[in-house]
Amino acid sequence: MKLQPDHFDVQSILGYGPGWVGLGRNGVGEKIERSVIIGSRGELIDWPCARFEDLNTGHFDQLAGYRPELVLFGSGTRLRFPPPAFLRSLMAQRIGLETMDTLAACRTYNILAGEGRHVLAALLIEPAN
């Protein structure tokens, strides 16, 4: 699915499909085929989890370390919620987390980043079958 904004001054998500996400930075497109953290302040960080079942507390502690206003967790092709214990570091810093499927997280990221919010999209990109 193409997610093309009219004009974007920040890093944006241009598309999403099974096993990939398209990212636009500085006028250049990039296809990413691994789980990734994308931030409105230019962050592009590998997120080492290929499946939802691979997630653990450390993955969410990593997100808290960037101190965003909000984290959008894209849980893959379907909506799945991380255990509350994984979210302790985010809650301790009063960082909000919204869980949605990865496509919805991509769309929501573009809206919030376009508004100038400091947002991270932690996107679970599962291998295409």
Decide if pLDDT at 11 tops 60.
Answer: yes
Please spell the DSSP secondary structure of 58-101, one letter per residue. Answer: HHHHHHHTT--SEEEEE-SSS--PPPGGGGHHHHHTT-EEEEE-
How far the first Cα of the chain sits from its last, in Å, is 17
Decide if pLDDT at 128 tops 60.
Answer: yes
Beta strand pairing status for 119-123 and 70-74? parallel
pTM of the complete model? 0.90
State pLDDT tens for residues 28-71. Answer: 789 999 999 999 999 999 999 999 999 999 999 999 999 999 99
Domains with residue ranges and CATH for the chain: 12-123 (3.40.1230.10)
**Single-letter residue type at 88:** R
% of residues, the chain, pLDDT over 90:
84
